[in-house]
Amino acid sequence: MIRRHVNKSISQLLKKINIMNTKILNVSLNRKVENLSYPIIIGDNILSSSGEILKEFIYKKNVIVIYDSFFSVKTSPNNEFEEFVQSINKLTTTLNFIDIPGGDQTKNINQLNEIIEKVLTNGIDRQNVIIAFGGGVIGDIAGFAASILLRGINYIQVPTTLLSQVDSSVGGKTGINSKIGKNLIGSFHQPQAVLADINILKTLPNREFRAGFAEVVKYGLIKDLEFFNWLNQEYDSIFIYDKIKLQKMITKSCEIKAEIIKNDEKEGGKRALLNLGHTFAHAIESFGNFDGRIIHGEAVSIGICLAFRLSNKLCFCSTDDTKKVINLFQKSKLPTSLHDIKKISISTSGMIQKFKLDKKNRQNELTFILNKRIGESFIKHNVSVNVLTQFLNEEI
């Protein structure tokens, strides 16, 4: 299905309903059989117009909203979730709700089963649409449910955290954690659209915002030195929620991600770069039992710093660049080393065992994303267990 008209029609629509200053990006996937593209709409205060904006996907459809139970209670005088619901309610044939708690502990097979049973009990056909309203956990599990219900129904992402707006809602990775490791069960299932409202970030606890910032910095580190420098320079405005800066930052992050996944939807190659820091991060999170002592973006912050220190140790990257990266994370009050998470006990051999489960590995060879400099990541296959053991022994 080629859907090049999407950008134009949505921007015409936004003009018609008087919504200004909204960015629309296209995620265009070059597939062998059929190309696919879908819009990411990034604006301020657009949830109350969700119905009009998403009309082509939800009009006269049976819609199931899977949302973070955080939004069940009033979180602000203008309850964004209520505005969203009122706006889409006018257009759908039926509207059903499933609320689930946010947090990685929720992202498991039992919760998935509960969602699926609820949807099936209500009755479903292939025209139903799921809307995921929440952070990365909600988007991942709701997207996964959409990908397996009736062998795949449509879904839309309405990400409400910085991390999900810049990363997890885009690109179609869906899934849940296994007791063995993070995100080991899942599928690639692209959403029909992503609607990101900057205004809702004000509901986000500061810790979550900082954690999302780690994924933002990742984009600069992977392939855009200028963006990294801009983040350093605009740091203060970003952390006081300057909406213009936030919109620019989220748009740029999504642009970089869309560009990377364009030719590698299923991570056969370059998409793995988006995993900078994640091999370490997933291992750390799994040591933490996903119980909230460390959250994903914090683990990513440590993981990226470890990836830079390893790159430096292996003489791929300068000490100067490594320090600059660690400084930005420290300034953002994010953890930057394994010593910063003393409450979780981590061992070198345990870390190596967890690395062996990483999806990037090839035939038992460990693969890491490392950096030549800020703005240039690369895939390094066959990183030896001896080197990693020595490195981790120095870090732990």
**282 annotated active-site:** yes
Q: Which of 199, 275, 312, 371 is catalytic?
A: 275
**Residues whose CB falls within 8 Å of the CB of residue 188, separated by 6 or more in sequence, listed in order:** 172, 173, 174, 265, 266
Marked catalytic residue, from 252, 270, 278, 360:
278
- Measure the CA–CA gap between 92 and 129, rounded to whole angstroms: 10
Among 103-111, 126-134, 142-150, 268-276, which window interacts with ligand GLY (CB under 6 A)?
A: 268-276
Catalytic, 327? Answer no
Instruction: Single out the segment in contact with ligand GLY by CB under 6 A; choices: 165-173, 239-247, 332-340, 386-394.
Output: 165-173
Cα 173 to Cα 144: distance, rounded to the nearest angstrom: 8
Closest to ligand GLY by CB, 99 vs 259, is: 259
Active-site residue, 173 included? yes
Q: Check binding of 104 to ligand GLY (CB under 6 A).
A: no
Could you tell me if 150 and 126 are in contact, meaning their C-beta atoms sit under 8 angstroms apart? yes
Question: Is residue 271 at the binding interface for ligand GLY, with CB under 6 A as the rule?
Answer: yes
The C-alpha angle with vertex 18 and arms to 13 and 20, in degrees rounded to 5, equals 95
214 vs 326 by CB, closer to ligand GLY: 214
- Give the residue with the Cβ less far from ligand GLY, 27 or 366: 27
Burial degree of 124 (CB within 10 A; 0-12, 13-18, 19+): middle
With contacts defined by CB under 6 A, name the span among 70-78, 91-99, 154-162, 167-175 that binds ligand GLY. Answer: 167-175
Does 274 bind ligand GLY (CB under 6 A)? Our answer is yes
Binds ligand GLY (CB under 6 A): choice among 83, 104, 140, 167? 167
For ligand GLY, give the closer residue by CB, 98 or 334: 334
Among 51, 139, 171, 277, binds ligand GLY (CB under 6 A): 171
Under rule CB under 6 A, residue 296 binds ligand GLY: no
CA separation for the pair 144, 375 (Å, rounded): 32
Q: Which alpha helices (DSSP H) does the chain contain, by range?
A: 6-16, 50-53, 55-58, 80-89, 109-122, 136-148, 162-163, 206-223, 225-233, 235-239, 243-261, 278-287, 296-313, 319-331, 348-355, 385-395
Q: For residues 71 and 80, is the Cβ–Cβ distance under 8 A?
A: yes
User: CB-wise, 274 or 366, nearer to ligand GLY?
Assistant: 274
Q: Is 354 among the residues that bind ligand GLY (CB under 6 A)?
A: no
HSE-CB at 152 with a 13 A cutoff on CA atoms is: 9
Query: Among residues 98, 169, 173, 351, which is the contact residue for ligand GLY, using CB under 6 A?
Result: 173
> For ligand GLY, which is the closer residue by CB, 39 or 171?
171
The backbone torsions φ and ψ at residue 253, rounded to the nearest 5 degrees and listed phi first, read: -60, -45
Question: 94 pairs with which residues across the strands?
Answer: 62
With CB atoms as reference, the residue minimizing the distance to ligand GLY is 274
| Interacting residue ranges for ligand GLY, rule: CB under 6 A | 167, 171, 173, 271, 274-275
* Catalytic machinery residues: 151, 173, 215, 257, 267, 271, 275, 278, 282, 296
